[in-house]
């Protein structure tokens, strides 16, 4: 039996692992997809205190190495359920194994929102992508589109503009949600064409994406542009569905205050999957520390 099982190896989960291991707790951390989570998709992190600039990938690898060197046991297995309770102990079931735990930290964060249109799943990996830093290099010298109006979309457009011939930055409103400094850079970039207020309504192509249809939000007019890739960056949705039966949720987010305590004693939540206002790298790391120290207290009290 592990003292603490952490579900999700993003910045919140791996920060929790660092704190849990440094407190001497045996710690198992499950990850379904990619160590680092969403931050791996960020080309440059420039707002983490004391680190002026670092790629999201390097940030994630540094965290992984730090937690791993401290003795956290990583398992690349998707968790499907948490069973048991604080009295009898928890059983965290993945698709391949079951780990018993005295306390559990859910740090599954969020996953990319899909547009929900025809061909989106079929053309994913064939021109449709949710990660510019992962897939941008495949489209050197081509014309591509980015869909979204937040920091991720604008950062993706700026990153891609260094690689591709042209970037269409498509957003459903004329005003961007992204920080002004980023939007100003995009507006000033000759390789970026801002296309608003429009939404992507259709994806064309048999073996690979060849064009996208857009609908104008003001007059409903449909247009089509030829592109080799569409990078979808329209935000995230929480990834806590497997835990709906064990912890209280609000619109898919796990309900907890700044103490990271869920409705179930012994189960804690850290990171973007928690009900909160600010979802940033700094607050994910902060949640990881708070949840881990609360879980450590819980384990000590139950000994």
Binding site for ligand NAP (CB under 6 A): 42, 47, 113, 148-153, 155, 172-173, 177, 199, 233-236, 279
* 134 noted as active-site residue: yes
CB nearer to ligand NAP: pick between 42 and 262: 42
Which residue in 33, 58, 135, 143 is the catalytic one?
Answer: 135
Supply the DSSP string of 89-117, one letter for each residue.
EEEEEESS-EEEEEEEEE---EEEPP---
Q: At what angle do helices 180-188 and 151-161 cross, to 10 degrees?
A: 30
Q: Which residue is nearest to ligand NAP (CB)?
A: 150
Query: What is the distance of C-alpha 204 from the center of its chain?
Result: 27
Neighbours of 75 (CB within 10 A): 17
Specify the residue for token string 């603490």.
4
- Select which of 33, 134, 143, 216 is catalytic: 134
Tokens of 132: 């510019």
Closer to ligand NAP by Cβ: residue 28 or 234: 234
Least Å from the CB of residue 28 to ligand NAP: 28
- Closer to ligand NAP by CB, 37 or 150: give it: 150
Q: How far apart, in Å, are the Cα atoms of 227 and each of 254, 273, 296?
A: 38, 34, 51
Active site residue 131: yes
Is 58 tagged catalytic?
no
Nearest to residue 230, comparing CAs of 196, 201, 188, 253? 201
- Which of 131, 156, 260, 272 is labelled catalytic? 131
Prior bond of 251 cis (ω within 30°)? no
Smallest distance, Å, CB 285 to ligand NAP?
14
Structure tokens at 31: 């990850």
Query: CB of residue 275 vs ligand NAP: minimum separation in angstroms?
Result: 15
The SS3 of residue 197 is coil
8 A C-beta contact, residue 154 and residue 192: no
Cα–Cα distance, 200 to 203 (Å, whole number): 8
CB-wise, 30 or 159, nearer to ligand NAP? 159
What's the min distance (Å) between Cβ of 52 and ligand NAP?
A: 13
Give 28 or 110: the residue with its C-beta nearer to ligand NAP. Answer: 110
Q: How far is the CB of 146 from ligand NAP (least distance, A)?
A: 11
Rounded Cα–Cα distance for residues 211 and 205 (Å): 7
134 vs 199 by CB, closer to ligand NAP: 199
Provide the residue count of the chain: 303
Q: Taking the complex as a whole, how short is the minimal distance between the CB of residue 286 and ligand NAP, in angstroms?
A: 15
CA distances from 164 to 130, 140, 182 (A): 16, 5, 19
What amino acid positions are annotated as catalytic residues?
131, 134-135
């Amino acid at each position: 039996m592990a003292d603490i099982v952490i579900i999700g190896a993003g910045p919140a989960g791996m920060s929790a692992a660092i704190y849990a291991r440094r407190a001497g707790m045996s710690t198992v951390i499950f990850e379904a997809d990619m160590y680092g989570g969403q931050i791996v998709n960020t080309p440059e992190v420039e707002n983490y205190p004391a680190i002026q600039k670092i790629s999201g990938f390097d940030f994630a690898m540094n965290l992984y190495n730090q937690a791993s060197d401290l003795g956290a046991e990583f398992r690349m297995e998707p968790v499907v359920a948490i069973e048991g309770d604080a009295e009898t102990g928890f059983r965290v079931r993945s698709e391949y194994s079951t780990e018993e735990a005295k306390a559990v930290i859910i740090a599954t964060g969020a996953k990319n929102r899909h547009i929900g249109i025809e061909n989106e799943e079929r053309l994913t990996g064939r021109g449709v992508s949710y990660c510019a830093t992962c897939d941008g290099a495949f489209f050197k010298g081509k014309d591509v589109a980015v869909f979204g109006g937040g920091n991720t979309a604008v950062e993706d457009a700026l990153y891609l503009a260094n690689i591709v011939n042209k970037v269409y930055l498509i957003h459903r409103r004329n005003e961007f949600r992204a920080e002004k400094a980023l939007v100003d850079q995009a507006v000033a970039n000759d390789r970026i064409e801002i296309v608003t207020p429009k939404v992507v309504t259709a994806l064309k192509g048999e073996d690979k994406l060849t064009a996208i249809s857009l609908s104008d939000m003001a007059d409903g007019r449909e247009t089509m542009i030829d592109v080799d890739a569409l990078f979808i960056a329209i935000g995230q949705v929480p990834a806590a569905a497997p835990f709906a039966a064990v912890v209280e949720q609000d619109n898919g987010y796990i309900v907890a205050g700044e103490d990271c305590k869920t409705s179930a004693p012994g189960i804690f939540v850290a990171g973007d999957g928690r009900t909160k206002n600010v979802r940033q790298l700094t607050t994910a790391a902060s949640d990881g520390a708070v949840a881990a120290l609360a879980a450590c207290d819980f384990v000590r009290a139950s000994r």
